[in-house]
Structure 1
């Protein structure tokens, strides 16, 4: 049986990254935190925390961390369901995992009305759209936006709509790097702009249409949706932008679609637990309605 004080100490260290910060969070001494974590490790027979700066959890510690975070989230959902909200807050807390492009474009305007009306305090976790459902599976979020169309056990997956991406660059960039046309040779030397190493849209297109494997051409990695757009507009490279962020730049000539056949549709789904609080149920209905209007 897990002891609550020991589990609380381990959870604080794992999330804060140090025994000192965990002690401040729990309002106890760092030595007390250390003793509780050591006692938990002894009772389980496993090392849970690697004492570094910052502290890291071991593989066993990661399993326990996910269990405790899942349990905490389930308890919060139960209390919200039974009481409407936690006793210390006027707001209902909802945790959602989203891809960065949705957050940068349509998500907040779609949620604005329901967040204000229902006094929902939103906590967002940002992950690649192919990975967000793993956060739901781990119990770290109440719902997520994902490209996965199959719901896991105990959950529902409902279609939101699609985001369309196009390969674009500035006219000046094209004049500099594509004087001899856009082909395998020119793409091997022209710098690309990619969101991060989990973003496979660009690399899959390069390999499919031009036989170029990752790491065979220069890349800027810009893990911010707004800075990503800015990098392309500044002529630092070419890349895949959602139509939401392209806007009318193709019409004005500020951007050029350089590879029309690279146009890609990403279908998004809303995943959530079948049993959810009244507030999350209303948020689900609202986002499904707004997404149908925005993404389709």
Structure 2
């Protein structure tokens, strides 16, 4: 059995774009032609490959085909680069090849602080665009397993099947609040565990366990406090800085305010989150360049 590569690329376009119509626009063909290609591939392989929902999503078999198409696109880019048509022209400043799209997964706090600086260095040297998927660091590895992304910042130290893993460093979080909030609710007094049980807390979303972990460490029932949910990293930090509640912030987002007295520490042990870089185990100069930039930036910004 062989997999027609043009049909595999069409399926990947449907999954990337979310609909058959959007894939047709990207491929410069009609939606009917996209549908016919996908049906033909399903017929040849004897499997349903895509769930025709909005957005479209791959079945388990379809995910394997999408992963193959993305790997081929990356390897094709690297091969063209060896012919001298894969990098920016450093003297003229122009692009000599169509950028390849590289999907990556990253946690919200890394994305809001240090991660984009690493990607900026990559795009200065390579014709590449990034399709970033934001998720909690405990879940980004799942996007590697499904083939959705080629590389990920994750808290998972064990390599995903078919992937390489390298340590990035530790992101340290401290519990903080505004002085007014701390005084009103008494949360800065380490002797008053009851205060943390009643004071409003800010969580990123319902999968955010950082504040829960901190409360457990302080001997507090983590289910008792009322919660705000603010699912964007910068807005999460802003909610704490405005006094909506207390929460855990990395130094990137709190050092200046702590120094000025606009925020105060609530005591207790900080929460350290080790981060790792995982990527597909392919011999790809582009993927290796991305990994090198991410690792260098992380090691200059995160705790060892």
Partner of residue 234 from structure 1, selected from 228, 242, 259: 242
Query: Is contact 1:77–1:276 with CA below 8 Å preserved after alignment?
Result: no
Q: CA deviation at 1:226?
A: 0.9
SS of 1:212's partner is coil
Residue 138 (structure 2) aligns with: 130
Specify whether residues 93 and 17 from structure 1 end up closer, same or farther in structure 2 by C-alpha distance, changes over 3 A only: closer
Deviations 1:13-49 (A, max 9, x none): 5554445444444545555555666666677465953
Q: Does 1:257 align with 2:265?
A: yes
1:108 & 1:292 partners in 2: Cα distance? 14
Residue 206 (structure 2) aligns with: 197
Q: Could you state the TM-score of these two structures normalised by the residue count of structure 2?
A: 0.80
Between 1:148-157 and 1:79-88, the stretch displaced more is 79-88
Query: Is contact 1:92–1:119 with CA below 8 Å preserved after alignment?
Result: yes
Query: Is contact 1:80–1:277 with CA below 8 Å preserved after alignment?
Result: no
Partner of residue 72 from structure 2, selected from 52, 71, 75: 75
Q: CA deviation at 1:233?
A: 0.8
Q: Does 1:288 align with 2:295?
A: yes
Specify whether residues 3 and 107 from structure 1 end up closer, same or farther in structure 2 by C-alpha distance, changes over 3 A only: closer
Deviations 1:244-296 (A, max 9, x none): 111221121100111x2241111111112332321222332333233222223
Residue 92 (structure 2) aligns with: none
Partner of residue 220 from structure 1, selected from 215, 228, 231: 228
Specify whether residues 4 and 295 from structure 1 end up closer, same or farther in structure 2 by C-alpha distance, changes over 3 A only: closer
1:179 & 1:271 partners in 2: Cα distance? 38
Specify whether residues 106 and 273 from structure 1 end up closer, same or farther in structure 2 by C-alpha distance, changes over 3 A only: same
1:45 & 1:218 partners in 2: Cα distance? 48
Specify whether residues 50 and 163 from structure 1 end up closer, same or farther in structure 2 by C-alpha distance, changes over 3 A only: same
Residue 196 (structure 2) aligns with: 187
Q: Does 1:276 align with 2:283?
A: yes
Residue 96 (structure 1) aligns with: 104
Specify whether residues 55 and 252 from structure 1 end up closer, same or farther in structure 2 by C-alpha distance, changes over 3 A only: closer
Deviations 1:30-72 (A, max 9, x none): 5555566666667746595355xx3555xxx421332232112
| Correspondences of 1:37-52 after superposition (within 5 Å) | 44=46, 48-49=50-51
Q: CA deviation at 1:234?
A: 0.8
Residue 115 (structure 1) aligns with: 123
Q: CA deviation at 1:101?
A: 0.7
Q: CA deviation at 1:123?
A: 2.8
Q: CA deviation at 1:150?
A: 1.8
Gap regions ≥5 residues in structure 2: 88-94
1:226 & 1:252 partners in 2: Cα distance? 19
Deviations 1:176-202 (A, max 9, x none): 222894644322332111111222111
Aligned residues: 289
SS of 1:135's partner is helix
